[in-house]
Chain A
Amino acid sequence: MSRFARLSAACAVASAAAVFTPATRSAFADPVPAAAETPAANAPATAPTANTPATAPLHERIDQLVEKFAVGPRSEIADDLTFLRRVSLDLIGRVPSSAEARAFLADNSPNKRQAVVDRLLATPDFPRNLAGVFDVMLMERRGNKHVKTDELRAWLQKSFESDRSYLDIVTSLLAADGSPDDNRAAAAFYLERDVEPNLLTREVGRMFFGVDLQCAQCHNHPLIDDYLQTDYYGLFAFVNRMSVFQPDTKKPALITEAATGDTNFKSVFTEREAVTGPRLPGGAEFTEPVFATGDEYATRPDKDVRGIPKYSRRQKLAELVGAGGNDYFDRNIANRLWAVMLGRGLVHPVDQHHSDNPATNPELLDLLAREFADNGYKVRPLLREIALTQVYQRSYRLPADLAPSAEVAKTALPDLKVKLVAEEQATDVAIEKSDAALAKLDEALAAAKPVREAFNKVNAAAVEAAKKRDAAVKTLTDKQNALNAKLPTVTTVEAALLQASAAAKLISDDTELAAAAATLQKKFDALAAERKKLEDEITAAKKPVDDTQAALVVAQEATKPEREKLEPAEETIRQARAAYVTATEEVHTHRRNKTYMRRRIEFLQTLVALAEAEQRLKTVRPALPVAVAEATKAQETLAIAQKAMAEAEAAFNQASQTLQNTTAQLTQAQTSATQMASATQLVKVSRENAQAAAAKLSSDQELAAALKTLTAREATFASTSQQLTESVAALTKQRDAAQTAVETATGQRQTATQNLQTADAAAKTAIVKRDSLQQELTKLEVSTSENSEAIIQQASSHFNIAVLEALTAEQLGWSLLEATGQLHRQVAAERAKLDKEKPLSEAEQKDPAKVAQREQDAYTAAVTALDKTVAGVANLYAAQTGQPQDAFFATVDQALYLANGSTLTSWLNPSGDNLTARLQKLEDARALADELYLSILTRQPTAEETASVQQYLQQRADDRPAAVRELAWALLTSVEFRFHH
């Protein structure tokens, strides 16, 4: 059972009724009932039934596992043409032609998607494209230093044509030494990296085990807890004895391997020292064959001799990998093949398998890895199964609802959080255990150190003895070689001498002949002497060989007791390291589970947050305009109240003023009335006194006059007083009225003040409400947009929404060639060339097989010719040599190349039946738009787009050919063409 099974069961959020059943050796290459295969176009994804049996086709089981973890948004199944474009790009590396698109649309058969997958897989383009994909994947655009890239691609292509197992391919790569009887192309992996051990350690780790251990070379990885220095050197030990062997630069470079060389290392951070034997990631060390010092080589290395050890760690590496069964290896390739099809790995980046970066669906990765291994590591059938899944066929278009299952998520969260805590604790416990195991390993290493030193000391003598023996052997061999080189000359001279002597005997009087014979005799004698000398020297050289060999044997014997002591010490180390590796794997498992759960929790929380935000938005969005209106209205009311208040204030002031005035007048009038009244009284008294006096003095004229005056005055005064009293009364009334008016105005002012206060408070409330809603809306929109982006990314890394990635450099190159019709132009040219060079006879022309063969030959020739063109495009669009090739970048250089460069310009010149030539022939703008969009974007234009095309043509009616070129250019440089969707 998978180490993830436990985890995934815990994390399954949707109904986790489905139980994963380990696959039996089955199924996926078998033909499957067609009807069940392919979803109808645009049909909603149907959930595969739970408890899908292990015998079900793999693609159903894949969908089932995807389904099991499917929470969150999910796109529709893509339409037919989107599917056709996608599958063509993935399987044969280019967009389909407009003819292919039309044919696919016209096909009404329900299983046409499966049919097209099978058709594409059967084309020669499939292995050719796959070879390119693997070359880029494995070599990252290295090549042509020692092994031609074409050679490697041809070998890969041949391998994929015959469905050779991936395991077998890798075994060849890892075993290759470049010798002519071996596979030269396979040596590219090592040779193009200059057989540099550190580079090879990194690259073997990345390419075949999915781990980039580079940063663990000098210390444990500073950023990734899983990557240990000890893992780095475990791999390093396999490759550090290798190097390039090329004594003659005119001859091809080979790989040589030393028989000895230990792997010691020390952390620059912690000073921890250690030594390790070879070990695969996650694997154990093993016992290696031991040969006596001096006897390690099958072929001893020399300046011009490639050394071949009796035991090769390189071959051991190939053998271990070839045996299969390494989880890292299986998961790595399954993940990489998934990424080839889906645009992204389940583990992403593909060389970052570690517990802080778990697969988005660990159980699915395990299923793919196991099925791929169980079915013989055959790439084509696996890609087929992936192409048939629903998950592969999802649209890139976003679904309307990005948080459809927030309720489910919310329910699942508490449980997950509890489990996360448990995993955190389990991780801590596992770390403690692994620390203890590490301490034991260090102990074993420390214990072995003096033993190893003791052995090295005695062994040094053996090494020295071996050197002497090798030198003696070399002396002997050199002499033997010298003798062997000499012998043919001796034989030839001897033969000539014999003939000359015989001739001289026959023609005894020929002095010249006799002289020649004599010269030859002399020459022969000299040579014979040399031969003799060499033979003597050889005889003499044999003794040192025997002697040194004997000395070596003695020295070897002397090492035996020390070696016997060393072996158990090393065995202890191996066991301690195995225990440590097991313990670290346990840590990885828990930490991976922990990270996975944490990510899952984060995702679910994001979903919940988005749903809540959206829910809230539903209230806030409509509430805001209402609040805005209310605030405006309240502000208007406030303004009215403020106006009323001002009026009331003014009225009050006026009334007060009136009161004040009237009061003053009244007071004045009252004063006057009082004065007048007392004056009147005084006059009255005076008059009465005067009257009395006058009665007594009636004759007094003056008195009489005074009395008259007084009487008159009294009357006047009384009248005035009367008037004044009346005036006072009137003014009193007025004052009272003013008093009332003031009281009224006061009341009104109070009301107005209250009204104002109310309106003010209401306005303030309304404004606060409006502003806080506005703020909330902004905040919600920002968080919604961020959460949406996070959810889209998550949904697309879970493949519920198709990944939108740029075309690879090669896909772009071939798609440009296909869409512009340049590919077919080249095919036509190659066909014409073949027809001219080797015309088909009339009979042959009637034979469909021959005609098809001719077509195939022309196509192959065209593709070969255009390979260079595509390489030119790749030069501009691909990442640099030796760098990961998956990061997207867009440069001004690239844009300028397509905008102004002669390449695309020339492809857009009408010729034969290329795109622009075809378009020009179409009088009807609608038909033109149709062909334009089908050729370039593999879809039909919308009505709006057709109208735009029509409008463009009208605008450029003066130069229709130019208009056609410009339209084609605009779509070829569009995002939709540049991206895989």
Chain B
Amino acid sequence: MKAHYACGSNSHLMARRQFLGTMAGGFVVGGLGALTNPALAGQIQKNQMRVLVVYMAGGLSQLESWDPKPKTDTGGPFRAIPTSVPGIHISELLPKTATHMDKLAIVRSINTKNNDHGKGSYQMQYGRSQMPGTEYPHLGAVCAKTLERDDNPLPGHIRVPGGSRGSDAAYLGPQYASVGMNGKPPANSERAGSLTEAADKLRNDFRRQANERFSLQRRTASTDLYTQSYEQALQLMERREVFDVTKEPEADKDRYGRFDLGQHCLMARRLLENGIPFVQVQHSNYDTHNENFNFHFEQLGEFDQAFSTLIGDLHDRGMLETTLVVVMSEFGRTPRINQYYGRDHWGTAWSVCLGGAKIQPGAVIGKTNENGTKVIDREVEHGDLFHTYLCAVGLDSGGAFDIGGRQQPMADPSHAPITELLT
């Protein structure tokens, strides 16, 4: 039995199209016009899709968020409140988010069959269960590659907060690995003090001239990519301030909240506005084996303010139609409340909230039983969600990457998107 996948590699197609485009007619054409049109730089096309993941590290309790079960043996002390969508109730810990429910959707029937932090976070972020001998790219790397724009020099896969480059792009290559943002512009993005702008222009012109001369003898998609990377570097140098969140208005800093998650969400808005295809914000730590209710009360207070402000802003700015937002964890938390008023690891029946892009607003997928101990309708797992994310940003999740002649399915071929969640 043999499956056939289309090559969905965007940059491959792009490079090829560009290469052929500039080749057609003259066979070998000099000039860098096609690659360095300054008018294109920094422009974000209206239909450019983006992804924002809010990662609730440690395992958000579905019962204190998207799937409350008040007045049951597992429900805990909090109430459920109505939302802007009649019939959908969420936890009272998310009052501001509740007013945006008409822009969001909930999947309440996730069963990832796993209670381990490491394995769970891999499942949810890579869309597959970890298998020895194989590495898959992170959702962010997949998005950075498939949604990348050749006219945007900014890195495509960003984590806030974070340090250096991650190693989470597997076969897609380091250019799609995550870049951690610590508030500083990327390394080496400032011109050395001894070099004037005029001199830099001169030396770059000389480099371009040398490349043009070489291209008359031989030119390939790879040589084009190489020359392009220098033009992108120059563009990035012009746009270093994108990474400086202090440039945002003071009033916005207040609205998002002057705590880490608030400022990180504001940063995320800034990055998404600048056409970065994938941003992941992390909120830590929901691993509440003790005092689950106090922790969620405090943590979700921050989350509710920052997240609802961000959703509101994305909506007001018309960006929600092109931005997929996912609130995910490695798993949920046990319905059973332990002796320390905590909840433990639980991959059996839990929820994610998502919205924007092609996600059906106001939808609820699946159901758990009365006290949330099992899924009773439309069970899904991480592989299905991963397909759904990709489809939500207009990709064919059944496609494959062509990596140097090796075909790599974009998402786990044994799963499929949740079609009823997609518009």
Contact flags (1/0) for B136-162 with A, using CB distance below 8 Å?
000000000000000001010000000
B191 close to chain A: CB less than 8 A: yes
Which A residues lie within 8 Å of B232 (CB)? 892, 895
CB-CB < 8 A to B153: which residues of A? 892
Segment among A91-99, A175-183, A631-639, A784-792 that sits at the interface with chain B: A784-792
Q: Interface 1/0s, chain B 230-246, versus A by CB < 8 A?
A: 10111011000000000
Contacting pair B222 A804 (CB below 8 A): yes
Known: A349-B404, A895-B230. Contact between A880 and B174, CB under 8 A?
Answer: yes
B223 nearest in chain A by CB position: A975
Q: Does B131 contact A (CB under 8 A)?
A: yes
25 of the cross-chain contacts (CB-CB < 8 Å) are: A201-B133, A352-B405, A788-B27, A806-B226, A879-B173, A880-B167, A880-B169, A881-B167, A882-B135, A883-B170, A887-B171, A889-B225, A892-B186, A893-B186, A894-B229, A896-B189, A896-B233, A901-B188, A955-B202, A966-B206, A970-B207, A975-B211, A976-B214, A979-B222, A981-B218
- Which residue from A396, A876, A956, A959 sits with its C-beta under 8 Å from B218? A396
A896/B188 contact (C-beta < 8 A), A948-B206, A970-B207 known: yes
**In-complex Cβ contact of A396 among B27, B194, B217, B404 (8 A):** B217
Within 8 A of B (CB), among A78-137: none
Question: Which chain B residues numbered 208 to 224 have a C-beta less than 8 Å away from chain A?
Answer: 209-211, 213-215, 217-218, 220, 222-223
A620 within 8 A of partner (CB): no
A781 to B22, CA, bound (A): 12
Q: Which of B4, B186, B226, B414 has the most CB of A within 10 A?
A: B226
Judge whether B187 and A223 touch: CB under 8 Å.
no
Closest Cβ of chain B: how far from A876's Cβ, in Å?
Answer: 8
Contact call B227/A975, Cβ cutoff below 8 A: yes
CB of A962 within 8 Å of the partner chain = yes
The answer to whether B20 touches A349, judged by C-beta atoms less than 8 angstroms apart, is no
Interface bits A195-206 vs B (CB < 8 Å: 1, else 0): 011111111000
Q: Is A884 a contact partner of B404 (Cβ separation < 8 A)?
A: yes
> Are A784 and B174 in contact, CB atoms less than 8 angstroms apart?
no
Shortest C-beta distance, B409 to chain A (Å), equals: 8
A160 to B38 alpha-carbon distance, docked (Å): 51
Partner of A895, one of B165, B210, B229, B404: B229
Residues of B within 8 A of A892 (CB): 153, 155, 186, 229, 232-233, 236
| Chain A min CB distance to B216 (Å) | 10
Q: Which of A793-844 contact B (CB under 8 A)?
A: 804-806
Interchain CB contact under 8 A, B210 and A966: no
Q: A896–B187 contact, CB under 8 A?
A: yes
With a cutoff of 8 Å between Cβ atoms, the chain A residues found around residue B39 in the complex are none
In angstroms, Cα B5 to Cα A981, docked, is: 34
Flag whether B99 is at the interface (Cβ < 8 A).
Answer: no
| CB proximity to B under 8 Å, residues A861-901 | 876, 879-884, 886-897, 899-901
Looking at A352, A357, A892, the one whose CB has the most chain B CB atoms below 10 A away is A892
Is A222 touching B188 in the complex (CB atoms < 8 A)? no
What are the 3 tightest A-B residue pairs by CB atom distance, in nearest-first order? A199-B133, A895-B233, A966-B203
Question: CB of A172 within 8 A of chain B?
Answer: no
A945-B209 Cα distance, complex, nearest whole Å: 9
Q: Is the CB of A900 within 8 A of B223?
A: no
Cα–Cα, bound, A220→B1 (Å): 8
**Are B218 and A905 in contact, with the CB atoms below 8 A?**
no
In the complex with contacts A349-B404, A889-B173, A892-B236, A979-B223 CB distance below 8 A? yes
Q: How far is the CA of A893 from the CA of B227 in the complex (A)?
A: 13
Q: Does A971 contact B (CB under 8 A)?
A: yes
A975 touches B215 (CB 8 A): yes
The docked-state distance in angstroms from the alpha carbon of A781 to that of B404 is: 28
Binding site for B on A (CB under 8 A): 196-203, 212, 214, 217, 219-220, 222-223, 225, 268-270, 348-349, 352, 357, 396-398, 781-782, 784-786, 788-789, 804-806, 876, 879-884, 886-897, 899-902, 905, 944-945, 948, 952, 955-956, 959, 962, 966-967, 969-971, 973-976, 978-979, 981
Specify which chain B residues have a CB less than 8 angstroms from the CB of A899 in the assembled complex. 188, 230, 233-234
Contact of B229 among A223, A268, A396, A890 (CB under 8 A): A890
Q: A214-B134, A970-B210 given as contacts; is B24 within 8 A of A782 (CB)? A: yes
Residue with the highest number of chain A CB atoms closer than 10 Å, among B19, B217, B220, B225 = B220
The reply to whether A348 and B230 contact each other, CB–CB distance below 8 Å, is: no
Contacts of A890 on B, CB cut-off 8 Å? 175, 222, 225-226, 228-229
Distance in Å: Cβ of B256 to nearest Cβ of chain A: 29
Cβ-closest chain A residue relative to B217: A397
Identify which of A220, A349, A889, A969 contacts B405 (C-beta below 8 A): A349
How many chain-B residues does the 8 Å CB contact rule pick out? 70
Judge whether A971 and B210 touch: CB under 8 Å.
yes
**Distance (whole angstroms) from the CB of A346 to the closest CB of chain B:** 13
Contacts of A956 in B (CB 8 A): 199, 202
Q: A902: nearest residue on chain B (CB-CB)?
A: B192
Alpha-carbon separation in the docked complex, A806 to B220 (Å): 11
Report how far A609 CA is from B309 CA in the complex, Å. Answer: 60
Q: Which residues of B lie under 8 Å from residue A971 when comparing CB positions?
A: 207, 210
Q: Which of A196, A200, A901, A969 has the most CB of B within 10 A?
A: A969
Residues of chain B within 8 A (CB-CB) of A785 are: 20, 23-25, 27
B3 at the interface (CB under 8 A from A): yes
CB of B212 to closest CB in A, whole Å: 10
Task: Give the chain A neighbours of B86 by CB distance below 8 A.
Answer: none
A891 x B218 contact (CB < 8 A): no
Q: A222-B413, A899-B233 are in contact. Are A974 and B214 (CB under 8 A)?
A: yes
Shortest beta-carbon distance from A639 to chain B in Å: 32
Check A978 against B226 for contact (C-beta < 8 Å).
yes
Nearest residue (CB) in A for B211 is: A975
Residues of A within 8 A of B167 (CB): 880-881
In the bound complex, do residue B188 and residue A897 qualify as a contact, i.e. CB atoms below 8 Å apart? yes
Q: Tell me whether A962 and B199 are in contact (CB under 8 A).
A: yes
Residues of A within 8 A of B40 (CB): none
> Nearest Cβ distance between residue B200 and chain A, in whole angstroms?
8
Residues of B within 8 A of A198 (CB): 131-133
B324 at the interface (CB under 8 A from A): no
Cβ contacts B176-204/A at 8 Å (1 or 0 each): 01000000001111111010000100111
- The reply to whether the CB of B317 lies closer than 8 angstroms to some CB of chain A is no
Contacts of A948 in B (CB 8 A): 206, 209
Chain A residues in 8 Å Cβ range of B134? 202, 214
Tell me if B247 is interfacial: C-beta within 8 Å of chain A: no
Residue B403 interfacial (CB < 8 Å): yes
Interface contact A891-B20, CB-CB below 8 Å: no
Q: Mark B47-61, 1 if CB is under 8 A from A, else 0.
A: 000000000000000
Whole-angstrom CA separation of A397 from B24 in the bound complex: 19
Q: Interface centre among B132, B153, B227, by most A CB within 10 Å?
A: B132
